[in-house]
Structure 1
Amino acid sequence: MFTAIGSILGWKKGKEDPVPSPPSVTITGVRIPADGTPAHLLSLTTTTDPEHGTDGFLFHTPDLRQYWNVGDGWHFRDLKRLDLHSHQPQHYHFQPYILHQKEHIKQLLRSGSTISREQHLHLAQRYFTEQQHHILQPHQSSCAGAYYVFYSFSHYDLPKNQFVPAWISDTGDGHNCTYYGDVFLVKMAPREYGENEWAIYEDILPEFLDLLVKGPV
């Protein structure tokens, strides 16, 4: 789709000035161990060299190689987005994110700048990542926000994780996503992207562990 847009507007491929890498940051995330021990908060440091993966649009991601250090555990990774709302959105639950997506693309179109192949890829990754939306109970409102679930699908190398709560693993069609190895969650800041479209994270609060067990509405 983005290639077609670029073709219509006459965008041309060309060399661009190299974009600097974002600084590595340390954040508080959540780990759901595959061995059945309780989920817990932990410090995660982002890597600015995530190699190939569907998370490239974030530019720096939690470095989970020490947890998926067998075979292709790190290379065979993926992510999904969780949007937790403190109240019922005015529109159908996908609508707010779709409006944001459209506005972002409009800004790119208005700028008239050349979009590289990498930028096309990052746009597709950001807006075609699997998404879930949930409404929180009033006492869970401190956990509202956008989260990313990082997981591995390297079933030859890592044990199946049977301890991811159903409200996260549910695919919405009566099936559950299968995860291998430890599963991790990180939270995005209200302003999700900053300079050079780098992801901005914030710490997950301890209250999230209770939400993880009990689930939202």
Structure 2
Amino acid sequence: MNALRGLYAITPTALCLEPSRLLAAVDAALRGGARLIQYRDKSSDPTRRLESARALRALCARHGGKLIVNDDVELALAAQAHGVHLGLDDLPLSEARARLGPDCLIGVTCQDSLHRARAASAGGADYLAFGAFFVSRTKPDARRATLALLCEARIDTSLPICAIGGITADNAGPLIDAGADLIAAAEGVFGAADVEIAARRYARCFT
């Protein structure tokens, strides 16, 4: 099974503040079929963040998933995460690659920019993230991407494409049909009453 195809579940910061709840929720998401877990924790407790990242790395390994750390290259390195996701204002891709080595997955936020996607592809990114495609509770002010952009990006690159932003199991289908390899979701998975069932609904969109 392609590790860079399927549900890409992103942890909300509020959930990260309670490590036991975080691990239980991520375990449920992985059981439901999540292929990648992004540890997105914007809090400022480095000790807890490292402990959680290491625990999530072990959990992902048991389920055959991959752990991606949001923004923080040093945390990804310390936790031996499978990869890191770089936003617009994070460490440059070239520096992250030099620090993490050739085998670490690096994803890059491209928003609605094919120019940024081309630069990231040329720079050695492993996947490209476009969005937001719909209104997002996690990032309500995010720039919007279109289905037409996604179709163009699919023609433009052979790299895996991640679609993000307000995506539900009900509206993911057209994005996958247009070429999205990964569907990213935070509240759609971890805000659900039953995380495993919510994750399974997303995962079924790929079958």
Q: Per the shorter chain, which TM-score range? A: under 0.3
Query: What TM-score results when the alignment is normalised by the length of structure 2?
Result: 0.25
Query: What TM-score results when the alignment is normalised by the length of structure 1?
Result: 0.24
Q: Determine which structure has the larger strand proportion and give its number.
A: 1
Q: Which has the higher contact order (CA 8 A, sep 6+)?
A: 1
